[in-house]
Amino acid sequence: MTVAKIHEKIIPKPSLRKKIEELSGQKISACFQCEKCTNGCPVTFAMDVVPHRLMRMLQLGLLDEALRSDTIWVCASCETCTTRCPNDIDIAHVMDTLRQLSQREGIKTAQKSAPIFHSAFLSSLRRHGRVHEPEMAVVYTLRSGGLNGLRKQAGTGIAMFRRGKIKLLPPRVSAGRQVKNIFKKVKK
């Protein structure tokens, strides 16, 4: 695990706070550090920066540090923080905004697997209109763990196949073109 480094002397950068407030549509400055998000979060044990601290970092404009944290990828999108925030900040959505920025800007992060997963998932969805689970899983496993990774996952794959849980042929959807168009337009 990497621990996001925060310098002892911090010079607040309000412009970066405003940037993330605009992108997420959330009023991050409304956070008064009550820690309800952190107390309800089920995955703080694996985070380098707990949620209320991440919010404080964003208030100070420490965007680079936030983008490099493990936290934005460890967040499981369970929406507990969003549900409980007394200031109506959609914290789970702020996490989304940070993940989007990180992927768009190609930030080098210690947590490499989540971005690889999202790209494997979306490329299968783009190709077929629906996700072809075995294709997505094989592409993800190869890209993240190579042949060794594939070997490790093979047991689960075979067990699923035996149980009739793997459909070898990809789904065929006639609205596939519409889905491809959505991807094309969104990319612009």
Partner 1 sequence: MEVSYYPGCTVESSAREYGESVAAVARILGIDLKELADWTCCGAASAHATDDMLALALPARNLETADKAGLDLVVPCAACYSRLKHADKALRSSEQIEGVGDEYKGDFSIKHLVDFIWEEVGEKAILEKVKKPLGGLKAVGYYGCLITRPPRITGARDPDNPESMDNILETLGAEVKNWSYKTDCCGAEHVLTMPEVAWKLIQKLFDMAEEAEADAIVVACPMCQSNLDTHQAEVSAQAGKRYNVPVFYFTELMGLAFGDPSVEKWLARHFVDPRPLLGEKGLL
* 6 vs 77 by CB, closer to partner 1: 77
* 85-to-20, 27, 80, 126, 166 alpha-carbon distances in Å: 18, 12, 9, 35, 40
Distance CA 80, CA 37 (A): 7
55, 31 in Cβ contact below 8 A? yes
Task: Tell me, by CB under 8 A, how many residues bind partner 1.
Answer: 58
Q: Does the protein bind partner 1 through residue 34 (CB under 8 A)?
A: no
In the complex, the smallest distance separating the C-beta of residue 177 from partner 1, rounded to whole angstroms, is 11
Listed in sequence order, the residues at least 6 apart from 68 whose beta carbon sits closer than 8 Å to its beta carbon are 2, 4, 107, 108, 109, 110
Q: How far apart are CA 58 and CA 95, in angstroms?
A: 11
The distance of closest approach from Cβ of residue 12 to partner 1 in the complex, given in angstroms and rounded to an integer, is 27
Query: Do 166 and 160 form a contact (C-beta atoms < 8 A)?
Result: yes
Binding-site member from 5, 33, 83, 86 for partner 1 (CB under 8 A):
83
Residue 185 structure tokens: 């337009």
Binding-residue pattern over the window 63 to 82 for partner 1, x denoting contact by CB under 8 A:
----------xx-xxxxx-x
Residue closer to partner 1, measured from CB, 19 or 118: 118
Residue numbers at the binding site for partner 1 (CB under 8 A): 42-43, 45-46, 73-74, 76-80, 82-83, 90, 92, 96-97, 99-100, 103, 111, 113-114, 116-118, 121-122, 125, 129-131, 133-134, 137, 140-141, 144, 156, 159-160, 163-167, 171, 173-176, 178-179, 181-183, 185-186
